[in-house]
């Protein structure tokens, strides 16, 4: 059975930690949606998801949603994805 994973990364152009998190996700070869909170649509989505700090990563694996606040390294993200994928 293949597990569906969706990643949304809330960012802003001026956020250096956001750029670091983008690089981690790119280096892992993961597909993710970048949501710029400085746009009208991004601002609305950030409010809907109660984003209070940047970067904020929404990680949906199957029916489970996990929120990661702050920039994390590759080892952290790999461990989290592995843990969430195994239920």
What pTM, to 2 d.p., does this model score? 0.92
Contact 20, 64 (CB under 8 A): no
Domain that holds residue 57: 5-85
- pLDDT given for residue 87 in this prediction: 64
- pLDDT given for residue 47 in this prediction: 96
For residue 54, the domain's CATH number is 3.40.30.10
Residues of the chain with pLDDT under 70: 1-3, 87
- pLDDT given for residue 58 in this prediction: 97
Q: Which SS3 state, helix, strand or coil, does residue 55 take?
A: coil
Number of domains present in the structure of the chain: 1
Q: What is the pLDDT of residues 38-63, one digit of tens each?
A: 999 999 999 999 999 999 999 999 88
- pLDDT given for residue 3 in this prediction: 66
Helices (H), the chain: 16-27, 40-48, 74-85
> What dihedral angle (degrees, nearest 10) is formed by the CA atoms of 84, 60, 35, 51?
-80
């Amino acid at each position: 059975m293949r597990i569906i994973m969706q990643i949304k990364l809330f960012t802003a152009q001026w956020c250096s930690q956001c750029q670091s998190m983008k690089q981690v996700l790119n280096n892992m070869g993961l597909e993710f949606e970048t949501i710029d909170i400085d746009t009208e649509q991004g601002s609305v989505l950030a409010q809907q998801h109660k984003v209070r700090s940047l970067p904020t990563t929404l990680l949906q694996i199957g029916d489970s949603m996990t929120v990661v606040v702050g920039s994390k390294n590759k080892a952290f993200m790999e461990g989290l994805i592995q843990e969430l994928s195994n239920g």
